[in-house]
Amino acid sequence: MNIELRPIDETTREDCIKLKVTEAQSGYIDTNEKSLEAAAENADVARPFVIYADGRPVGFTMFAFDEEYEDPNDRYWLWRFMIDENLQGRGYGKEALKVIIAYFKENGANNIRLSTKASNVNAIGLYKSFGFKETGEVNDGEDVFILNWQE
């Protein structure tokens, strides 16, 4: 499986907006359209991408890169991550997360933080399988996790 992250442009934007999570997951993540609005409002730090597998759009991710932020442990966030409802359970999430982690490493990050609701057990299981650990912090009602590779 060849996973690539493509920046948002006219073509990828349309692909992005078509991707949806299951109804049960809709309480965990904004729609991709709302995420793209948030990216536009935070253009100085937001990095949105459509996730493609073998040339086919399968998901969406968005990072927050704030190199100016004073705390080096709070500069890099996996802000959004989703796989389309019709493609879940096929390994796309695991393969995409490998590429996402590599992106952060290649772009100078020493860790990645993310937050999710405690009830989002499937996502938490995926993150923990990659080494993410709970920080004990809460961000907007969500538990914060961190993956360090320079400890």
- 67 Cβ partners below 8 Å, 6+ apart? 75, 108
- pLDDT at position 151 over 60: no
Domain residue spans in the chain? 3-148
| pLDDT tens-digit map of 4-24 | 999 999 999 999 999 999 998
Rg (Cα) of the chain, in Å, rounded?
14
- 83 Cβ partners below 8 Å, 6+ apart? 21, 51, 58, 59, 92, 93, 96
Cα 61–Cα 45–Cα 7 angle in degrees, nearest 5 = 40
- pLDDT at position 35 over 60: yes
Instruction: Classify domain 3-148 at the CATH class level.
Output: alpha beta
| pLDDT tens-digit map of 44-88 | 999 999 999 999 999 999 999 876 666 666 689 999 999 999 999
Per the model's pLDDT, the better-predicted residue between 131 and 71 turns out to be 131
Q: 93: left (phi > 0), else alpha (psi -120 to 50), else beta?
A: alpha
| pLDDT tens-digit map of 91-115 | 999 999 999 999 999 998 889 999 9
Q: In the chain, pLDDT over 90 holds for what percent of residues?
A: 80
- Report the pLDDT value the prediction gives residue 72, as an integer from 0 to 100: 61
